[in-house]
A and B are shown apart, each in its own frame.
Chain A
Amino acid sequence: MNRFAELLDRLAYEPGRNNKLRLITAYFRDTPDPDRGYALAALTGALSFKHAKPGLIRDMIMDRTDPVLFGLSYDYVGDLSETVALMWSKGGGDYCESLLGHPSPQPSTARGEGAQLSAALSSPDKSKATGKTLSVPSPLGGESQGEGHPAGSASDDRLRTSNLHNNPPPPTLSEVVTTLRTLGKTDLPKQLARWLDELDETGRWALLKLVTGAMRIGISARLAKTAAAALGNKDPHEIELMWPGLAPPYLELFAWLEGRGDKPVNRDPAPFRPVMLAHAIEDADFATLDPADFIAEWKWDGIRVQAVAGRDERGHMQARLYSRTGEDITKSFPDLVPSLHLPGAIDGELLVLREGRVQTFNVLQQRLNRKVVSPKLMKDFPIHLRAYDLLGDDENDLRELPFVERRAHLEAFVKKLRDPRIDLSPTIAFDSWDVLMAARANPANAGAGEDADAVEGVMLKRRDAPYLPGRPKGQWWKWKRDPHIIDAVLMYAQRGHGKRSSYYSDYTFGVWTSGEDGEQLVPVGKAYFGFTDEELLQIDRFVRRNTTEKFGPVRHVVHEPDQGLVLEVAFEGLARSPRHKSGVAMRFPRISRLRWDKPPREADRLETLERMLKDVTAN
């Protein structure tokens, strides 16, 4: 673990890509199995265990340090893991000792007593030591170096080596990783404390970053694999291809790289490939982009999936559906499996289609997180895959090809599948950004037709972009539709969770409608985010000063025509909902602005929302 920590430490400071590679390769060369394999897993994000909460780490350090010293140190260092790693004192530290039973020095009437005490600590014969230093004009003049070298000076070497002497050896990375996988929550603090005792400063830092899941060292999975490939002068692409079939600690892989074993074959017939993600495009980006370099498609409001099929050793077709994080979700969608009857890997969107029409996300949601997938559910919510990329065609990996070529493969593949449950996501013809903007504003008229409800924007993909894992710069862009916006009135507030638990940060808001008692506010949604920290403080203050009633954790906040707070709420979509008093439900509502300037009476009315709902359906 200390060696791995050293690597992470060095990588954190090294800016050059090639130098990073050299450092990682050197580590792989010097480190035995299985440690280097777990290191490779850590660097590629392939480790999985439950992360410890920062609060736990804080509690542990609070138990063994003086809170004042901790506070000063944390202020100085600015990072919890690092502060703890540096302050940690082995075996419980001296805090308890300093509070309990450590006597304050007794005032003595003569200095002699204290002097003898420290003289005993420092050197067996004080006068001798003094005598020696007297005779030494040059510090290196022989005899002064040896014994005349009292208490404090030995602290580095004496104290520290004796500690090492008594301690068990520090844990290996393998030990840490395998233990964390199975360790129960209640055993975690004790185990962590033991490891922290055994590791050095850098080791403790790396351990804490690892267990809290906060290891950010600017290394891509690709870079780590490239470094491994360099160990055997192999092409990193070869590792990329076999990667889905490999698992930590990658013994086979290292054996092959070192020429001690055969090339590992990818035995998983339907492996997951890390997905490629898009950046949100900003207005300013368009100026630098040429429309001719891009292909545009609709951005569907469904679930991104990877549908993979391949033949196992016995020649049987195996099909799997993965979420974009690589989670196997095949069991939730058995109705799609028969459609995946050709070997290949499709990147696409999971949707619900009824009579050829894409349903909204609210409908699709009925299929999610179900324990049992009943025949009725499958019949009422028929699942569909809309394909937009092809990563593998039979045995061929297509990921290195430019998008425009993959698209051609995809079109042929979908045609060959001839399956009603799988179709192509159409491209949008455009020759200028203005044309595309018009399409995005009105998908129904730009080819999306009756499926326009399920369009949440436009995707832009460079024609020449290979399929790269992660979120590579400048390759794929998402251009979402403008969110809907209304002005609503804050009605109730509730305390948040975690970091926000001391603030009123969950807000229920409403719009005006005519009721039996005249004009009244009806709640239309709840929002937890969208505001800045500064705005959170402002709203929190407002809530506390304007509470009219308290019900448990909920505060009623004043909401009269002339008194109250207007929130500008942005949301992605609307759906009818019998469960809501207002009859509508918002998708992704968030606070986009605080309208201190607006009296509540000028907030929007329910009719506005109903009109939006109609517009959406009519389009």
Chain B
Amino acid sequence: MRGSSLRMTGKIRRKASYISWMRPQDILIPLPAGLCCKPGGFHIDPVRPVERAVITHGHSDHARPGHGAVLATQETLDMMRLRYGDNFARTTQAIRYGEEIQLGDVTIKFHPAGHVLGSAQIAVSCKDLCIVASGDYKDAIDPTCTPFEVVPCDVFITEATFGLPVFRHGNAADEVKKLLASVALFPERAHLVGAYSLGKAQRVIALLREQGYDAPVYLHGAMEAITRYYESRGVALGELRLVRGMKKADLAGTITLAPPQATSDIWTRRFPDPVTAFASGWMRVRARARQRGVELPLVISDHADWDGLTATIEATGAGEVWVTHGQEDALVHWCKARGLAARPLDLVGYGDEEEHEVIAADEAEA
């Protein structure tokens, strides 16, 4: 089934029912509400309320409230419940990695995406055609979630958050060593690490523990619930304490994790001469780091870097690539230079979680 009929550009093909001649766009099609699977009757990561939603992971731009039925991993469902309350959807159904479910005329199967706890790629198959919607993913090792798995497919739908060849994330452990070296050099200062609350923060803590750092790690109040949830799922993070109520002098020589926005507001005044760090793939680009007033940029990303994106595309064996959000142009160009059919999906509503994390009002002073 992978003949010319699969090409996005192939325009004139006898209009037949999808049962006999299935094209990728007959299975999944980008609509304003998100990626829509008509034969299955659901949307993937819809940005507007829909009847049936299949959700890749718990980040707020992918997992939104107000849908009828939601299918996702148990972790993703739990995270949505934590954020939106018990009534975030009418009904929910949990699915495990590797599990297959028939929805209408298609079969869907979840595979680990390595992005955050519970994150999944969703393989949608109809007859012989398989499309993988990978959501956000990374191919780097992360002690806090199940490793990414390559899923062979015909069409691979990929993000492109770091879709420029300047984004090379390197080894996250080295970045954490950089942080620890700074803590050792400035024992009288507090180190404040901006990190996205869901996933990044826990990964940074786990990486610190891997480096043998066993002092308590301090948390901004906005991170408490999700971090405790990680622990409840078996992710060991060592001793964690809340910053709330700590004396300024006692925070000297400590490491605190906080949502990125908090590291640049008055909340930081409670720390002694804080060193502002930020754990993000964006920190690879100096102008980006300077713009945020970061003093210690740590290149630690929950998204695949350029090498990861391109290696993954190759490994899936897909002949066609759809690019969702990020730096689409470069990645589409790269695919085409390799003879792969590729196009941007121009989906709106997904983006850079780190840049947009909102701290709930009652947590802002936490």
Residue interface mask A121-156, B partner, CB < 8 A = 1: 110000001110110111111001100111111111
- B140 near A153 with CB under 8 A, answer yes
Q: Which of A76, A99, A116, A144: most chain B Cβ within 10 A?
A: A76
* Given A69-B164, A137-B96; A107-B319 close (CB under 8 Å): yes
Q: Which residues of A in the span 1-33 have a Cβ within 8 Å of any Cβ on B?
A: 6, 10, 12-15, 19, 22-23, 26
- B166 near A114 with CB under 8 A, answer no
- B296 near A69 with CB under 8 A, answer no
- B152 near A201 with CB under 8 A, answer no
Partner of B166, one of A87, A109, A140, A159: A87
Complex: A152 Cα to B141 Cα, angstroms? 10
- A140 near B171 with CB under 8 A, answer no
- A130 near B235 with CB under 8 A, answer no
- B315 near A79 with CB under 8 A, answer no
Please name all residues of chain B whose beta carbon is closer than 8 Å to the beta carbon of A105 when the two chains form the complex: 317, 319, 338-340
Please name all residues of chain A whose beta carbon is closer than 8 Å to the beta carbon of B235 when the two chains form the complex: 139-140
The smallest beta-carbon distance between B329 and chain A, in angstroms, is: 6
A104 CB–B CB distance under 8 Å: yes
* Given A65-B165, A86-B166, A110-B128; A73-B330 close (CB under 8 Å): yes
Please name all residues of chain B whose beta carbon is closer than 8 Å to the beta carbon of A72 when the two chains form the complex: 164, 327, 329-330, 333
* Given A22-B186, A105-B319, A115-B317; A83-B166 close (CB under 8 Å): yes
* Given A72-B329, A82-B285; A108-B2 close (CB under 8 Å): yes
Please name all residues of chain A whose beta carbon is closer than 8 Å to the beta carbon of B1 when the two chains form the complex: 109-111
Q: Which of A111, A136, A137: most chain B Cβ within 10 A?
A: A111
Please name all residues of chain B whose beta carbon is closer than 8 Å to the beta carbon of A122 when the two chains form the complex: 149-150, 152, 315
Q: Which residues of B in the span 126-152 have a Cβ within 8 Å of any Cβ on A?
A: 128-130, 139-141, 143-150, 152
Which of B46-54, B82-90, B249-257, B304-312 interfaces with chain A? B304-312
A77 CB–B CB distance under 8 Å: yes
The smallest beta-carbon distance between A540 and chain B, in angstroms, is: 30
Which of B109-117, B215-223, B356-364 interfaces with chain A? B109-117
B169 CB–A CB distance under 8 Å: yes
- A14 near B295 with CB under 8 A, answer yes
Please name all residues of chain B whose beta carbon is closer than 8 Å to the beta carbon of A133 when the two chains form the complex: 96-98, 111-112, 146, 149
Please name all residues of chain A whose beta carbon is closer than 8 Å to the beta carbon of B289 when the two chains form the complex: 13
Residue interface mask B92-107, A partner, CB < 8 A = 1: 0000111100000000
The smallest beta-carbon distance between B355 and chain A, in angstroms, is: 15
- A86 near B139 with CB under 8 A, answer no
The smallest beta-carbon distance between A9 and chain B, in angstroms, is: 8
The smallest beta-carbon distance between A423 and chain B, in angstroms, is: 51
B13 CB–A CB distance under 8 Å: no
* Given A69-B334, A73-B164; A153-B234 close (CB under 8 Å): no
- A66 near B166 with CB under 8 A, answer no
The smallest beta-carbon distance between B175 and chain A, in angstroms, is: 11
- B338 near A134 with CB under 8 A, answer no
B74 CB–A CB distance under 8 Å: yes
Please name all residues of chain B whose beta carbon is closer than 8 Å to the beta carbon of A107 when the two chains form the complex: 2-4, 6, 319
A200 CB–B CB distance under 8 Å: yes
A292 CB–B CB distance under 8 Å: no
The smallest beta-carbon distance between B162 and chain A, in angstroms, is: 11
The smallest beta-carbon distance between A189 and chain B, in angstroms, is: 21
A68 CB–B CB distance under 8 Å: yes
Interface size class of B (residues with CB under 8 A): 35 or more
Please name all residues of chain B whose beta carbon is closer than 8 Å to the beta carbon of A77 when the two chains form the complex: 166, 285-287
B168 CB–A CB distance under 8 Å: yes
Partner of B146, one of A26, A89, A144: A144
- A121 near B150 with CB under 8 A, answer yes
Partner of B171, one of A23, A110, A138, A157: A157
B248 CB–A CB distance under 8 Å: no
Please name all residues of chain B whose beta carbon is closer than 8 Å to the beta carbon of A117 when the two chains form the complex: 152, 317
Q: Which residues of A in the span 371-419 have a Cβ within 8 Å of any Cβ on B?
A: none
Complex: A280 Cα to B182 Cα, angstroms? 40
- A22 near B185 with CB under 8 A, answer yes
Partner of B170, one of A138, A140, A151, A201: A201
A103 CB–B CB distance under 8 Å: yes
The smallest beta-carbon distance between B185 and chain A, in angstroms, is: 6
Complex: A156 Cα to B168 Cα, angstroms? 9
A119 CB–B CB distance under 8 Å: yes
A102 CB–B CB distance under 8 Å: yes
Please name all residues of chain A whose beta carbon is closer than 8 Å to the beta carbon of B284 when the two chains form the complex: 86, 201
Please name all residues of chain B whose beta carbon is closer than 8 Å to the beta carbon of A66 when the two chains form the complex: 333-334, 337
- Chain A's closest residue to B98 (CB) is A134
The smallest beta-carbon distance between B301 and chain A, in angstroms, is: 10
- B146 near A155 with CB under 8 A, answer no
- B154 near A111 with CB under 8 A, answer yes
A118 CB–B CB distance under 8 Å: yes
- B234 near A152 with CB under 8 A, answer no
Partner of A118, one of B6, B112, B150: B150
- A151 near B285 with CB under 8 A, answer no
- Chain B's closest residue to A106 (CB) is B319
Q: Which of A102, A149, A157: most chain B Cβ within 10 A?
A: A149
Across the A-B interface, the 8 shortest Cβ-Cβ residue pairs: A104-B339, A152-B139, A114-B317, A134-B98, A115-B152, A86-B166, A133-B97, A149-B147
Residues of B within 8 A of A (CB): 1-4, 6, 74, 96-99, 111-112, 114, 117-118, 128-130, 139-141, 143-150, 152-154, 164-172, 178, 182, 185-186, 233-236, 284-287, 289-290, 294-297, 304, 307-308, 311-312, 315-319, 327, 329-330, 333-334, 337-340
Q: What are 23 A-B pairs at a CB distance below 8 A?
A: A10-B296, A13-B294, A69-B330, A72-B164, A73-B164, A87-B166, A89-B165, A98-B337, A99-B337, A107-B3, A108-B2, A110-B1, A114-B154, A137-B74, A149-B141, A151-B139, A151-B315, A152-B308, A155-B139, A156-B140, A156-B169, A156-B170, A201-B284
